[in-house]
Structure 1
């Protein structure tokens, strides 16, 4: 377990934090079951911003959360641009900015509408496949008799 030096900045309640958790690229890769190359790609795309110590990347909790949001966004079919926008909102929302939350809801509604259209397309394709299969079986049955 890596830990950075104690941060002398007081927390919100006025107490001094002990140590902040840091992560290596390998630790994050194992934690999220991705390759280090994937993590470097997201860094190159500006979704992660690790601290650099020489050639070593030091990832902080903020990077871990950003990676988690990025991977969740990819699973849900978000583009990198949409993920970036959501992450930037997340970073800027400690006070729950209403404008940012409304924009997030717009993005989610748009994604939900796209998924509904895709589901309907899939249902239509299934009906068409069922129809072709039924006809092929009927023809095959006539040929066998």
Structure 2
């Protein structure tokens, strides 16, 4: 019976399992994040490589840079506690940044709702008799300027 830690994976198997392209796996290898062993021309990924890929994708998903992810991965072989502390620090920093972004997004949405309400209120009022003629004339002039520019 094969021990799970001894299990190996091909590039296609990992790509399929994690829904990434083989090119993405090669990119992570080029960046020093994954280091599969070679059997001839084939890459052979270990169970540990699979775990690293999980961490890479989790880090990317929450917005960590590849440099930050590499720092966390590199600490594993030195000191797992230091790795966990570094990951915790990075994750907490991302939470702060994402919460600030959420506040900005919520404020922008609220502003947009206000603008939408103002515009809908304006458009709900009857148009001045010559408003449509003015709008058509403006559109024709804009179209003519665009044609002249080409």
Displacement after TM superposition at 1:26 (Å): 0.5
Closer/same/farther in 2, CA of residues 36 and 75 from structure 1, 3 Å limit: same
For residues 56-75 of structure 1, the aligned pairs below 5 Å read 56-75=42-61
Match of 2:37 among 51, 63, 76: 51
State which of 64, 83, 91 in structure 2 corresponds to 1:108. Answer: 91
C-alpha distance in structure 2 between counterparts of 1:103 and 1:30, whole Å: 30
Gaps in structure 2 of 5+ consecutive residues: 129-150
Q: Using structure 1 for the length normalisation, give the TM-score.
A: 0.78
**What's the offset of the Cα at 1:100?**
4.0
Distance, in Å, in 2 between the alignment partners of 1:136 and 1:87 is 52
After TM superposition, which residue ranges in structure 1, 4 or more long, deviate above 6 angstroms? none
RMSD: 2.2
For 1:108-127, list aligned pairs within 5 A: 108-127=91-110
Q: Which has the larger radius of gyration?
A: 2
Check whether the contact 2:5–2:47 (CA below 8 A) recurs between aligned residues.
Answer: no
- What TM-score, normalized by structure 2, do the two folds share? 0.76
* Mapped partners of 2:5, 2:104: distance in 1: 52
- CA spacing shift, 1:115–1:18, aligned 2, 3 Å: closer
CA shift digits 1:73-131 (9 cap, x unpaired): 1111111111112222334344xx3x443332221111111001100110111011111
State the shift of 1:19 in Å. 8.0
In structure 1, runs of 5+ residues without a counterpart are 4-16
What number of residue pairs does the alignment pair up?
127
Alpha-carbon distance change, 118 to 139 in structure 1, aligned in 2, over 3 angstroms? same
More helix by share: 2
